[in-house]
């Protein structure tokens, strides 16, 4: 959360819980995106709905508070090279982060399994 004193930047009323997104919406987003080519088999109307769900899940990811200072730090540094890349980093930061956490979790589980 951005800490900017009493001016209340942190008072958003449409925040999404990190854990809810991480465990439900994020896997759904990954699965639905990965399987998107299949949507071409189910007709254009259903494909439209599929796309809407994927886009909404992606948009939701922006409403999670996840190390915002790091996100801004990285994006503003990248801005010095390219505004487009900076915007790209800014938009996808939460997804990158969650993806890394899933990989980390998977790695931990696999390592423990191997040790056992």
Partner 1 sequence: MFFKKKLNHENVESGDFPLKSNHPDVVFLDNACTSLKPREVIEGISSYYSEFGSCALRSVHKLGKQTTTAVDHARKKISQFVGLKKAEEVIFTRGATDSINLLCRSFQWSEGDEVIISSLEHNSNLLPWIALGEGQRVNLNIWNIDKDGRFDLKELEALLSKKESKLLSLCSDSNIIPIDLPLAEIISLAHKNDVLVHLDASQTLLHRPLNFNDLNFDFMSFSFHKILGPTGIGALCLKEEHYDKMKPAILGGETVVNVTNKAYVLSDPPHCYEAGIGSYAEIFGAVKAIEYIEKIGYSQIQKKEEELSLLMQEGLESLRGMTFLGPGLNSHLVNLYLGEMDSGELSILLDKNYNIMTRAGVHCGHYWYNQNQLNPSLRISAAFYNTESDIQRLVEALQEVSKNYL
Tokens, residue 79: 């801005």
Closest distance of CB 82 from partner 1, Å: 5
3-class DSSP assignment, residue 32: helix
Closest distance of CB 116 from partner 1, Å: 43
**Cβ neighbours of residue 98 closer than 8 Å, sequence gap 6 or more:** 21, 22, 26, 61, 66
Using the 8-state DSSP alphabet, how is residue 15 labeled? -
- Residues numbered 20-79 forming contacts with partner 1, rule: CB under 8 A: 59, 62-63, 68, 71-72, 75-76, 79
Lookup result for tokens 């959360």: 1
d(CA 75, CA 10) in angstroms, rounded, equals 20
Is the Cβ of residue 46 or residue 83 nearer to partner 1 in the bound state? Answer: 83
Burial of 16 (0-12, 13-18, 19+ CB in 10 A): middle
Is the Cβ of residue 8 or residue 37 nearer to partner 1 in the bound state? Answer: 8
Is the Cβ of residue 88 or residue 103 nearer to partner 1 in the bound state? Answer: 88
Is the Cβ of residue 12 or residue 46 nearer to partner 1 in the bound state? Answer: 12
86 binds partner 1 (CB under 8 A): yes
* Interface residue list for partner 1 (CB under 8 A): 2, 4, 6-14, 59, 62-63, 68, 71-72, 75-76, 79-88, 90-91
């Amino acid at each position: 959360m951005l800490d900017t004193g009493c001016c209340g930047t942190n008072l958003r009323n449409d925040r999404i819980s990190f854990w809810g997104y991480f465990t439900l919406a994020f896997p759904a987003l990954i699965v639905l995106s990965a399987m998107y080519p299949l949507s071409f088999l189910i007709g254009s109307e259903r494909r439209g709905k599929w796309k809407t769900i994927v886009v909404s899940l992606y948009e939701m990811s922006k409403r999670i508070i996840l190390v915002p200072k790091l996100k801004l730090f990285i994006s503003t540094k990248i801005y010095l090279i390219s505004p487009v890349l900076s915007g790209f980093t800014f938009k996808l930061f939460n997804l990158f982060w969650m993806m890394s956490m899933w990989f980390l979790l998977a790695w931990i589980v696999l390592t423990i399994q191997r040790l056992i």
